[in-house]
Amino acid sequence: MSERLRLNPIACEAHGMCAELLPERISLDEWGYPILDERPLSPDLVSHAQRAAQACPTFALLVERERSRG
């Protein structure tokens, strides 16, 4: 089971907190909106990712368990 970052682009208001807290996986585009690296998070990054998600003022950043494919 691995975790990935996902963004709700409707909720995102480009506060940019996520890129501050998880620069390993998140950069900002020229308008300030996050560009995610959506590959599975390595174990050492999961807690940082969760902190970034909690810090998002609009709850737009999600750390999702990969859904098992059937």
Partner 1 sequence: MTMSRHATIPELEPTMSEHAPSSGLPRLLEGVPAQGAMTLQAHLDTHGELPSARRRDQRGATALIDQIEQAGLGGRGGAAFPTAKKMRTVAAGRGKPIVVVNATEGEPASLKDRTLLETLPHLVLDGAALAARAIGADEAILCVCESAGVGLEHSARAISERERLPGRWPRIVLSTAPEGYVVGHESALVSHLNGGAPKPTFSPPMPFERGVRRRPTLVNNAETLAHVALIARHGPRWFRELGLSDQPGSTLVTLTGPLSYPGVYEVEYGASLSSLLDAAGGTTSRVRAALFGGYAGTWVDGGALPSLALSNAHLAPHGASLGAGVVLLLSEDACPVAETARVTRWLAGQSAGQCGPCVHGLDTLAATFEQVCGGAAPSHATARVEQLAALVRRRGACSHPDGTARFAMSAVDVFSEEFADHARHGACDACARQSELPLPARTRIATAA
Residue numbers of the site for partner 1 (CB under 8 A)?
8-14, 29-33, 35
The kind and range of the H/E element at 54 are: helix 43-55
Q: With respect to partner 1, which residue has the nearer C-beta, 31 or 43?
A: 31
Find the shortest distance in angstroms from Cβ 20 to partner 1: 17
19: helix, strand or coil: helix
Q: Which residues contact 17 (CB under 8 A, 6 or more apart)?
A: 52, 55, 56, 57
For partner 1, the closer of residues 55 and 62 by Cβ is 62
Interstrand relation of 26-28 and 34-36 (parallel, antiparallel or unpaired): antiparallel
Nearer to partner 1, 14 or 42 (CB): 14
CB of 38 to partner 1, least distance (A): 9
